[in-house]
Amino acid sequence: MGGFFGIASFEDCIADLFYGTDYHSHLGTKRGGLAVRRDDGFVRIIHNIENAQFRSKFDPDLDRMHAWAGIGVISDVEDQPVLIRSHLGDYALATVGAIKNTAVLARDLARSRNLHFSEMSAGSVNQTELAAALIDQEESFEAGIRRLQASIEGSCSLLILTEKGIYAARDGRGRTPVIIGRKTGSYAVTMETCAFPNLGYEVERDLGPGETVFITPDGVEQLHAPGDVLQICGFLWVYYGYPASSYEGINVEEVRNRCGSYLARRNPVAIDFAAGIPDSGVGHGIGYAAEAKVPFKRPFVKYTPTWARSFMPQNQTVRDLVARMKLIPIRELIRGKKFLFCEDSIVRGTQLQDTVQRLRDMGALEIHMRPACPPLVYGCKFLNFSVSRSEMDLAARRAIREIEGESIADLSPYTHEGTRQYNAMEERIRLRLKLTTLKYQRIEDLVAAIGLPKERLCTYCWDGAEPK
């Protein structure tokens, strides 16, 4: 994934920009970047944050970045923001999302416009550089952003810092959030509203799908009205959104509590206590315990000072090592107990398999699992929240392959809770993970927990549904 933050202020903005960007660090582990506009031009700094926190890398640079406007970004892939000099003027660009047709777009631009692109590893193209090239085909930033959104497959939300202010645009289907905040003398734009309270900002409003605005210290001007079709990613509330954030006015932690409550109502079981796998599983587990009227305990605690997020590293061996080392079991809470874990999801299942075995080795009598979302049957084709190389890495798809063989024409029976195929898939995953029971969240309950109509949520990874 990734996240961005921008600010336009009558006063020096660097402190708010620094901390506002830092509040997006849970969304990425590769690169962090800041760009500001000063009277003498742009200053941009990018650091590798794979082995150090964003704050520690950027703190020494702040003295030379005092300015009235700036943008910051946390990225899992490319170096950004990019600095561009074009007929539109000098600007800095940051993007979040996944342009899935980068190769085709880059090839066509290179052939028709005699452009060139910096090649990244494995022959890939920096999607932010590509976005800039598409924007520069038009005679204004507003028209260029429209061209970009019309050209891409996938999603792209963006911030453009110019000498006059900041353009902010939400991707065409609104899969990622973009939210405007305000305090006296300043306007800010963020993906995570958790960046606002400690900096003194109040939420002004969410941008709609495909909406473009121009932000200055004086206010926010709408340049392109939002579209009618919203497809915000449901996984924001389940997993990668921050508990203190709200999207479309709906708080993440409250949704996770409701998810746990639905799980407890749907499939009750006799247990000594409920738990949640840190971090995102905790909110679900608290909701389960409250509804089931059982204690909530922490048989695992998370060691956070030095271990990164296990979901993000590209190498599976590194992911497994990080997952194991950062979760420390408490034997006294495990031995001889029957308990239930809530988890945000089961993606590959490799880390969870190791976790369950460790609990067995420590004397757990029964281990029940309740994921807060349905099985992930399809790989995401709109965002980069998963780094799986193949859909077959998904635990659900491996189970389906074991049942059906290598070739299957119709996956839909595996996306509907209660069918013979669904039950067989769920049981195979349970056996592989060595769980006492496994019951996934129903899609209807997840939608109800979020509180938006299903047609305004992207649920593709669970049921393959796409807007018509």
Q: Which domain CATH number covers 139?
A: 3.60.20.10
Are β-strands 457-458 and 232-233 bridged in parallel, bridged antiparallel, or unpaired?
parallel
The verdict on 378 and 442 lying in the same domain is yes
Out of 52-56, 264-268, 364-368, least confident range: 52-56
Q: Which domain CATH number covers 353?
A: 3.40.50.2020
Is residue 382 situated within a structural domain?
Answer: yes
The verdict on 218 and 87 lying in the same domain is yes
pLDDT at 21 > cutoff 90: yes
pLDDT at 43 > cutoff 60: yes
Who has greater pLDDT, 302 or 121?
Answer: 302
pLDDT band at 119 (very low <50, low <70, confident <90, very high): low
- The SS3 assignment for 313 reads coil
Which residue intervals of 347-453 are DSSP H helices?
A: 350-361, 395-404, 420-433, 443-450
Domain boundary among 185, 201, 230: 230
Is residue 160 situated within a structural domain?
Answer: yes
The verdict on 322 and 357 lying in the same domain is yes
The verdict on 99 and 158 lying in the same domain is yes
The verdict on 67 and 108 lying in the same domain is yes
Residue 456 has a pLDDT of: 97
Q: What is the pLDDT of residues 218-240, one digit of tens each?
A: 999 999 999 999 999 999 999 99
pLDDT at 314 > cutoff 80: no
Kind plus residue range of the DSSP H or E element containing 105: helix 102-113
The verdict on 190 and 292 lying in the same domain is no
Q: What secondary structure letter does DSSP report for 208? A: P
Residue 381 has a pLDDT of: 87
Q: What is the pLDDT of residues 274-294, one digit of tens each?
A: 999 988 899 999 999 999 999
What number of CA atoms fall less than 13 Å from residue 76's CA on the CB side? 22
pLDDT at 168 > cutoff 50: yes
Residue 435 has a pLDDT of: 98
Out of 114-123, 251-260, 350-359, least confident range: 114-123
Sheet containing strand 166-169, strands side by side: 82-86, 89-99, 154-161, 166-169, 212-216, 219-224
Is residue 468 situated within a structural domain?
Answer: no
pLDDT at 95 > cutoff 50: yes
Is residue 132 situated within a structural domain?
Answer: yes
Residue 286 has a pLDDT of: 98
Is residue 400 situated within a structural domain?
Answer: yes
pTM: 0.93
Residue 306 has a pLDDT of: 59
Residue 311 has a pLDDT of: 45
Query: What average pLDDT does range 81-98 have in this prediction?
Result: 96
Distance from C-alpha of 278 to C-alpha of 185, rounded to nearest angstrom: 38
C-alpha distances in angstroms, 105 versus 1, 82, 92, 122, 441? 21, 18, 21, 17, 39
Out of 78-82, 139-143, 165-169, 318-322, least confident range: 318-322
Query: What average pLDDT does range 427-448 have in this prediction?
Result: 97
Structural domain tally of the chain?
2
Domain boundary among 230, 261, 277: 230
Residue 310 has a pLDDT of: 45
Q: What is the pLDDT of residues 202-214, one digit of tens each?
A: 999 999 999 999 9
The verdict on 211 and 290 lying in the same domain is no
Whether 277 contacts 300, CB under 8 Å: yes
Residue 167 has a pLDDT of: 98
**Share of residues in the chain with pLDDT > 70 (%):** 92
Is residue 51 situated within a structural domain?
Answer: yes
Range of the domain at 177: 2-230
Q: What is the pLDDT of residues 332-358, one digit of tens each?
A: 999 999 999 999 999 988 889 989 999
The verdict on 431 and 283 lying in the same domain is yes
Is residue 235 situated within a structural domain?
Answer: no
**Share of residues in the chain with pLDDT > 90 (%):** 75
Residue 308 has a pLDDT of: 55
- Other C-beta atoms lying within 10 Å of the C-beta of residue 296: 18
The verdict on 181 and 311 lying in the same domain is no
Whether 373 contacts 235, CB under 8 Å: yes
The verdict on 275 and 218 lying in the same domain is no
The verdict on 269 and 224 lying in the same domain is no
pLDDT band at 386 (very low <50, low <70, confident <90, very high): low
Residue 107 has a pLDDT of: 86
The verdict on 295 and 348 lying in the same domain is yes
pLDDT band at 385 (very low <50, low <70, confident <90, very high): low
Is residue 459 situated within a structural domain?
Answer: no
Whether 348 contacts 323, CB under 8 Å: no
